[in-house]
Amino acid sequence: MKLVVFAASNSNHSINKQLVTHAAGLLSGIGVLETATNSAPHFGADLRGSLSIPRFNDNFDTTSGQLTNAELQAKLEATVATLLG
């Protein structure tokens, strides 16, 4: 079984954004993504890849639904290829 999870929002009222902000504060400098990728195997996950999109609003065009940063787009495509491979 393969599970691919993407979560993103540009809303200030998004529950995901509130949870990530709160979690980041609780983790005292440890990245949320790093924590998730490091802990996933302990819960039986077969982690094949991860990707963080920094400054999401600067690197994603909400109108077209596409990344605007070519380097991040290439990393996304490589990560998805790994997940599907």
For each of the chain's 85 residues, which pLDDT tens digit applies?
Answer: 444 555 555 566 666 666 666 555 554 445 777 878 888 888 888 888 888 888 888 888 989 999 999 999 999 999 999 888 7
Q: Within a domain: residue 67?
A: yes
Which conformational region is residue 68 in: left (phi greater than 0), alpha (psi within -120 to 50 degrees), or beta? Answer: alpha
33 and 54 belong to one structural domain = no
Q: Count up the domains in the chain and report the number.
A: 2
Q: Within a domain: residue 1?
A: no
Give, rounded to a whole angstrom, the gap between the first and last alpha carbons of the chain.
13
Q: What is the pLDDT of residue 15?
A: 61
- On whether the CB atoms of residues 32 and 16 are closer than 8 A, the answer is no
Quote the domain boundaries for residue 80: 49-85
Q: What is the pLDDT of residue 51?
A: 86
Q: Within a domain: residue 20?
A: yes
pTM of the model: 0.58
64 and 83 belong to one structural domain = yes
Which conformational region is residue 9 in: left (phi greater than 0), alpha (psi within -120 to 50 degrees), or beta? Answer: beta
